[in-house]
Amino acid sequence: MIANPAQKYRRFEPIQLPDRQWPNQVIEKAPIWMSTDLRDGNQALIDPMSVETKIRYFKALVGMGFKEIEVGFPSASDTDFNLVRRLIEENLIPDDVTIEVLTQARQDLIERTVESLKGARRAILHMYNPIAPGFRKIVYNTDKAGVKEIAERGTRWVKALTDQHPETQWVYQYSPEVFSSTEVEFAKEVCDAVSAIWQPTVENKMIINLPATVEMSTPNTYADQIEWMHRNLNHRDSIILSVHPHNDRGTAVAAAELAVMAGADRVE
């Protein structure tokens, strides 16, 4: 038994941003809202939803006014793959709504993901890979260059495979997973490398999503991280900066609000 459990963990070290601007900002317009309920919410259930249930849920989210909806992880299960196919083949996606799907940075999974989206008018393909120190060391047994190469290689696969289907308007979203515990300088390096491959433009932006995969700090620290990235990312005018705060500490809503003040354009 640990005599003093509080000594087991080191405190989270905030980044240095003495000239932070977000505390003085006022939110004057709503961010882009992207619903993750059909994916994040579903994976937390003991009994995952069926395709029919997910379709009813999708229609409810459309009715609420969401214009971007992450509908699933089509390479991870037949249920999610079949859901995406049903939405497209049965013309259930309104013209002003864009579906999003998630994939890891593996070629076979990206291939399956692109296959699920054939025939879609517009789709957001969301690829991620963890880049935080713990994942580099424990999960991948590699270094910064190793996880950066995973992101770059995956992005090249996404670009090559989506280029084969010009009938769909593709939007690429990249997440440096576990951003919340990653060195911001390295997160920028990886995101800049990804955007250099994708080559977004002001007219055809890509999405950089910065998740608080584990809510390790208070919302003001997350806001500092977002503002630092907002101020330092390359091609910022060609990027939609998105945030995905988890709720481990119960402050995800506050983190999202402060992140928008700090420069985020979109909230998942």
For the chain, the average pLDDT equals 94
CB 191 within 8 A of CB 158: no
Which residues are 98's β-sheet partners? 68
The pair phi, psi for residue 165, each rounded to 5°, is: -130, 70
Q: What is the pLDDT of residues 53-111, one digit of tens each?
A: 999 999 999 999 999 999 999 999 899 999 999 999 999 999 999 999 999 999 999 99
Q: Six-digit token pair at 128?
A: 């991620």
| Residue 48 banded pLDDT, cuts 50, 70, 90 | confident
d(CA 208, CA 244): 11
CA–CA gap between residue 96 and residue 114 (Å, rounded): 21
Q: Under a CB-based contact definition with an 8 Å cutoff, are residues 113 and 77 in contact? A: no
Given the structure tokens 């609000």, which residue do they identify? 257
3-class SS of residue 91 = coil
Confidence at 33, pLDDT banded by 50, 70, 90: very high
- pLDDT at residue 214 in the model: 85
- Model pLDDT, residue 185: 97
Q: What is the pLDDT of residue 4?
A: 80
What value does the mean pLDDT take over residues 41-52? 80
Q: What is the pLDDT of residue 1?
A: 61
Rg (CA), the chain: 19
Locate 9 and state its tokens.
Answer: 């963990």
pLDDT at 135: 87
Give me the pLDDT at residue 141, please: 87
Does pLDDT of 14 surpass 90?
no
CB under 8 Å, gap of 24 or more: what pairs does 90-97 form?
Answer: 92/55, 92/58, 92/59, 93/120, 93/121, 94/62, 95/121, 96/67, 97/62, 97/66, 97/67, 97/68, 97/69
Of all helices (H) and strands (E), which one includes residue 53? helix 51-64
Mean pLDDT of 118-142: 94
Mean pLDDT value across residues 165-188: 96
Using the predicted structure, report yes or no on whether residue 249 has a pLDDT greater than 80.
yes
Residue 143 clears pLDDT 70, i.e. is over it: yes
Residue 186 pLDDT greater than 80, yes or no: yes
Share of the chain above pLDDT 90, in %: 83
